Amino acid sequence: MIQQIADYLRNFSVGIAGAGGLGSNCAIALARTGVGNIYIADFDIVEASNLNRQYFFLNQIGLPKVEALAQNLHQVNASINVVSFNERLTTDNIPEFFAQCNIIIEAFDKADQKQMLAECVLQKIPDATLIMGTGLAGYKTTPFQTSRFNKLIVCGDMENEVDELNPPMAPRVGIVAMMQANEALNILLKDFTLKK
Amino acid sequence: MKINLNNREATFEVTDLTIAEVISTCNFTYKRLVVRLNGKVVRSEDHEITRVNDGDKLEVIHLMAGG
């Protein structure tokens, strides 16, 4: 069954806006399951301080995140197509870069950037479903939730914002990234049927 | 009036509120929000001038830093 799922997912495209804690971990999960085309955008480079939660390695420090992540995605699944965009996403380039995507994962860190992306995607790429992450800081055990709307899904604890006393840490960032990946699969596989 | 707010029914004693009034009545305190009224995005600068009517579907998403 798992091979049939991977074969089925080969035809889909998922966009990932931001290759940090949410984006890098979500991308890896989607690559492992076989999503055929992954579009990643990020303007940043890998820094030592990212390694506490992001899917990068010591020998990748200094590389553009999109380049490092493409390497890592191909290490887990050599057959997928990765399209990288090593620039800041703006309302001008978002519609074009993600035009082919069935699903777009919002994986930014700053709230104003999340807002910019969400308003742009919902208005200008109406066929795509946007999956956002909100509320993942610290190490409290606040329950996670998922809210589902038309073409918009929001995953997170809806409460814990990153600040000086509440840093982003691997477990809760990872949980939200996996929730986003699972929501993506749930949409992509809605018409999947197992062949005997 | 009754509206659908974030997939739940919400009742307000007055009719004819603006989005900004709904946001303040419901204590949505986060600075960054994404708002859709009947499926259409309403930007922050239009919250004061956009009216919510009985039966409308309103989504208010809180955006928290972190990712």
Tokens of A11: 């035809």
Nearest-Cα residue of chain B relative to residue A114: B63
Contact residues, chain B, for A23 at CB < 8 Å: 67
Q: How sure is the predictor about B27, in pLDDT bands with cuts at 50, 70 and 90?
A: confident
| Residue B33 to residue A115, Cβ atoms within 8 A | yes
Among chain A residues, CA nearest to B7: A149
A26, amino acid identity: C
- Domain locations in chain B? 2-62
Which helix (DSSP H) or strand (DSSP E) does residue B58 occupy?
A: strand B57-62
Q: How far apart are CA A143 and CA A175, in angstroms?
A: 11
- Nearest-angstrom CA–CA distance, A122 and B59: 13
Render pLDDT for A45-65 as a digit per residue (tens, 0 to 9): 999 999 999 999 999 999 999
B8, closest residue in chain A (CA to CA): A147
Closest residue to A114, CB basis, from B6, B32, B39: B32
Q: Residue A20 forms beta bridges with which residues? A: none
Inter-chain contact B61–A152, Cβ cutoff 8 Å?
yes
Q: Least CB-CB distance to B63: which of A114, A137, A148?
A: A114
The partner residue sitting opposite A161, judged by closest CB among B43, B59, B66, is: B66
Among candidate residues A70, A22, A73, A21, the one with its CA nearest the CA of residue A47 = A21
ipTM attached to this prediction: 0.94
Interface test with chain B among A26, A42, A115, by most B beta carbons within 10 Å: A115
| Domains of chain A, earliest start first | 2-188 (3.40.50.720)
Q: What is the model's pLDDT at position A125? A: 97
**Residues of chain A under the 70 pLDDT cut:** none
Interface of A to B at Cβ within 8 Å reads 18, 20-23, 106-112, 114-115, 118-119, 122-123, 132-137, 147-150, 152, 154, 156, 158-163, 168, 173
Quick one: pLDDT at residue B28?
86
**Which ranges of chain A would DSSP assign to H, the alpha helix?**
2-9, 21-33, 65-76, 94-97, 111-124, 170-188
Summarised one tens digit per residue, pLDDT across range A106-137 is 999 999 999 999 999 999 999 999 999 999 99
Give the contacts of A16 (CB within 8 A, at least 6 positions apart).
A23, A26, A27, A38, A39, A40, A41, A104, A105, A107
Q: What is the DSSP letter of A50?
A: G
Based on C-alpha coordinates, what's the Rg of chain A? 16
DSSP 8-state class, residue A163:
B
Please tell us whether the domain made up of B2-62 is placed in CATH 3.40.50.1220.
no
